[in-house]
């Protein structure tokens, strides 16, 4: 078999695996191998092999009593993650546009995925120098304003996770002392925002605030990102005020209510 044939075969196999997964997801109840084979127009043996692979990866579960199949936990988790990202993007659209127009600096929205903070949207500022973070990139939790906000406001054990990996130095200004990082986290909780001038990249600063959901849990961050000349270590009060208003507006759109959360 030549390379092209192997490649085509591999693609078809992947396509069928997705077909099997989608068929299980679309079934109103648990579904059997024979039903899937008829539905997909292939053999029971082929369907069974794909089901076994999907089960090993956690995308499909089997009812041991009936030998029938249903979606597994990993499928649900991916679905929830995707839905959460779409929800944050939708909830933040107007606030991000207003913040960028009001302040003129680049605005970055990120979402917490497990123990990682991932950039969802970057809207460049009015400056001819484009300063921003590429969408899809992962932010360092200890060396960025957004990451330290995540450490401060998330209920997840993020600090333990990064301490196990070690606090890598990106510049001479990166915080690598756990005690100093803890002090930064306390300050973030007290004032509701935080900066990180020169900590990941020389000449760049950001001021970030949390995005909270209806339970009060941090689901993401919003930040103004710019040069240290435009966003100083102690940001302009107008920048802070506009950022905090945008943060609260997005959180409200996600169902956050400070009074109801505090009363739980």
**pLDDT given for residue 74 in this prediction:** 82
113, 33: one domain: no
CA-to-CA distance for 27 and 209, rounded, in angstroms? 42
Average pLDDT over residues 97-111: 96
Whether residue 130 is predicted with pLDDT greater than 90 in this model: the reply is: no
The sign of the torsion formed by the CA atoms of 58, 64, 67, 69 equals negative
Domain residues for 65?
3-71
**pLDDT given for residue 61 in this prediction:** 93
Whether residue 190 is predicted with pLDDT greater than 70 in this model: the reply is: yes
Q: Say whether 180 sits in a helix, a strand or coil.
A: helix
Whether residue 2 is predicted with pLDDT greater than 50 in this model: the reply is: no
Q: Say whether 60 sits in a helix, a strand or coil.
A: strand
Q: What are the backbone dihedrals phi and psi of residue 94, each rounded to the nearest 5 degrees, phi first?
A: -70, -40
179, 255: one domain: yes
Last residue of a domain, one of 47, 71, 95: 71
CATH code assigned at 179: 3.30.450.40
227, 127: one domain: yes
235, 109: one domain: yes
DSSP letter (8 states) at residue 167: -
Q: Say whether 224 sits in a helix, a strand or coil.
A: strand
Average pLDDT over residues 97-116: 93
Radius of gyration of the chain (CA): 23
Lowest mean pLDDT among 52-56, 226-230, 253-257: 253-257
Average pLDDT value for the chain: 89
Q: Is 103 within a domain?
A: yes
Number of domains in the chain: 2
CA nearest neighbour of 194 among 157, 150, 255 = 150
**pLDDT given for residue 259 in this prediction:** 54
Q: Is 79 within a domain?
A: no
118, 226: one domain: yes
Sheet holding 116-123, edge to edge: 138-139, 116-123, 106-113, 218-227, 204-212, 194-195
**pLDDT given for residue 132 in this prediction:** 60
């Amino acid at each position: 078999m030549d390379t092209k044939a192997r490649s085509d075969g591999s693609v078809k196999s992947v396509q069928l695996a997705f077909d099997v997964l989608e068929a299980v997801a679309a079934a109103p109840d648990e579904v059997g191998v024979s039903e899937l084979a008829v539905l997909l127009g292939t053999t029971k043996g082929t369907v069974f092999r794909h089901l076994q692979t999907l089960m090993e990866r956690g995308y499909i579960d089997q009812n041991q009593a009936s030998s029938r199949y249903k979606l597994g936990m990993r499928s649900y988790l991916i679905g929830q993650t995707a839905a959460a990202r779409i929800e944050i993007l939708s909830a933040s659209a107007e606030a991000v546009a207003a913040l960028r127009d009001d302040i003129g600096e680049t605005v970055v929205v990120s979402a917490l995925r497990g123990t990682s903070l991932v950039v969802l949207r970057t809207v460049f500022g009015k400056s001819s120098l484009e300063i921003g973070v590429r969408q899809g990139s992962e932010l360092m939790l200890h060396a960025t304003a957004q990451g330290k906000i995540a450490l401060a406001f998330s209920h997840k054990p993020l600090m333990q996770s990064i301490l196990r990996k070690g606090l890598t130095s990106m510049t001479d200004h990166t915080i690598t002392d756990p005690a100093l990082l803890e002090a930064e986290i306390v300050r973030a909780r007290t004032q509701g925002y935080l900066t990180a001038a020169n900590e990941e990249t020389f000449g760049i600063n950001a001021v970030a605030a949390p995005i909270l959901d209806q339970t009060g849990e941090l689901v993401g961050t919003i930040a103004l990102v710019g040069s240290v000349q435009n966003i100083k270590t102690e940001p302009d009060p107008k920048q802070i005020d506009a950022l905090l208003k945008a943060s609260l507006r997005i959180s409200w759109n996600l169902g956050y209510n400070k009074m109801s959360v505090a009363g739980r």
